[in-house]
Amino acid sequence: MKRLYPLLFISVLIYWGCEDKTDDNTPEVVDDTPTEVTLWGVVYSVEFTTSLNLSIKQLTGSIPSEIGNLTHLTHLNLSINQLTGSIPPEIGNLTNLNYLDLGGNQFTGEIPSEIGNLTNLTYLNLGGNQLMGEIPSEIGNLTNLTDLSFGSNQLTRIPTVIGNLTHLTYLNLVWNQLTGPIPSEIGNLTNLTYLGLNDNQLTGEIPSEIGNLTNLTGLHLGNNQFTREIPPEIGNLTNLNRLILYDNQLTRMIPSEIGNLTNLIYLNLRDNQLIGSIPPEIGSLTNLNRLFLYNNQLIGSIPTEISNLNNLTELGLENNQLTGGIPPGIGNLTNLTKLILSENQLTGIIPESICDLNINWNNSDYFRISYNQLCPPYPSCIEDYVGEQDTTNCD
């Protein structure tokens, strides 16, 4: 029995040797995650780089795909450089980002769908580039966004999922090539203070749901192809100070509800096909500085209530079909520096109170009253500047 012990001991050694040999052949796991990334000649630590601000650094070329390895980034600003090429899809790896600004470059191609991975973003600016195509539907994943700016690109459509971004306070899509209607889901964005969609090719009606956006201070929808009416729900937007609907194809009457917008300082409805009379409720807008209703098909008289607008500096009502006289209260508008009433059918005597205004009468950029049916005698301050008048029906 004692002779067996040495054999047992040798067997155990052989077994252990085999085990060790097997372990030696097991592939070793190698961590090949880079610890450093080189961008535009500078080396950044993957672990310790949380913020990268390279705005206005004259950077050129494309964004290296390696930027996607900086997964600890929370703040990335590459704005106002000369960067070109497409936005790399690896940008979608930076899931800790809450601020991304690539504006003011020369990026081309489409917005990568991977941008929808950046669900912690609160600020996203891709404006001032040459991006094209539809705004990807994955943008609807970015439900923490408060500021979104894609202005001055060549983007073509607003996705309905824009309505998911209920924390947005600022939405800027101006100067693109957006077509189709404004999705009604825009009405979900009740925290918006600014909505900029001007200078696109948007069509259809302005959705009534826009009346839900009661925190808006700026609504810019000018230079599109909107048709039919200004929705009366616009009167819900009582915090508005700028309402810009110029250069569309709006064809109905100005809604009386516009008189609810008592915080307005700028109202521009020029270059549409608006009909009917100027609503007297416009006299409630006593904070207005500038009022432009020219190049429409408005009829009736200038409402006497317009004399309530004693903060007005500019008033443009030219090229309509307005009739009746100039209201005697025009002289109350003592802050007025620009008055354009030409190319209407205004009649009667011009009130002497017009001379109370501080206008450069001899400058046609600031005063035009020609091509009406206004009768002499004319107030002394303007008698040399009334231009051509049809006095056929004057006594």
Q: Report H helices in the chain.
A: 4-25
Q: CA distances (Å), 146 to each of 99, 142, 195, in order?
A: 10, 10, 12
Express each pLDDT in 88-135 by its tens digit.
999 999 999 999 999 999 999 999 999 999 999 999 999 999 999 999
Find the mean pLDDT for residues 42-51.
96
Q: Which domain holds residue 169?
A: 43-375
Question: Is it the case that residue 5 has pLDDT exceeding 60?
Answer: no
323 within a domain of the structure (yes/no) = yes
Instruction: With beta carbons less than 8 A apart as the criterion, state whether 287 and 263 touch.
Output: yes
Instruction: With beta carbons less than 8 A apart as the criterion, state whether 71 and 94 touch.
Output: yes
Indicate the residue type of 324.
G
Which residues, 6 or more positions from 131, have their beta carbon under 8 angstroms from its beta carbon? Answer: 87, 107, 108, 109, 110, 111, 150, 153, 154, 155
DSSP state of 284: G
Confidence of residue 395 (pLDDT cuts 50, 70, 90): confident
11 within a domain of the structure (yes/no) = no
Confidence of residue 382 (pLDDT cuts 50, 70, 90): very high
Please state, in angstroms and rounded to a whole number, the distance separating the CA atoms of residues 101 and 379: 57
Domain containing residue 114: CATH number: 3.80.10.10
322 within a domain of the structure (yes/no) = yes
Confidence of residue 26 (pLDDT cuts 50, 70, 90): low
7 within a domain of the structure (yes/no) = no
30 within a domain of the structure (yes/no) = no
Question: Is it the case that residue 14 has pLDDT exceeding 90?
Answer: no
**pTM of the full structure:** 0.90
26 within a domain of the structure (yes/no) = no
Please state, in angstroms and rounded to a whole number, the distance separating the CA atoms of residues 322 and 310: 22
394 within a domain of the structure (yes/no) = no
Express each pLDDT in 308-345 by its tens digit.
999 999 999 999 999 999 999 999 999 999 999 999 99
Express each pLDDT in 128-159 by its tens digit.
999 999 999 999 999 999 999 999 999 999 99
Place of tokens 């005697």: 328
Share of the chain above pLDDT 70, in %: 92
Total domains in the chain come to 1
Q: What pLDDT sits at residue 31?
A: 56
Question: Is it the case that residue 161 has pLDDT exceeding 80?
Answer: yes
Mean predicted lDDT score pLDDT of the chain: 93
Q: What pLDDT sits at residue 28?
A: 59
Instruction: With beta carbons less than 8 A apart as the criterion, state whether 290 and 268 touch.
Output: yes
Q: CA distances (Å), 53 to each of 79, 93, 169, 309, 327, in order?
A: 9, 18, 24, 47, 58
Find the mean pLDDT for residues 44-73.
97
27 within a domain of the structure (yes/no) = no
Q: What pLDDT sits at residue 104?
A: 98
Find the mean pLDDT for residues 10-23.
42
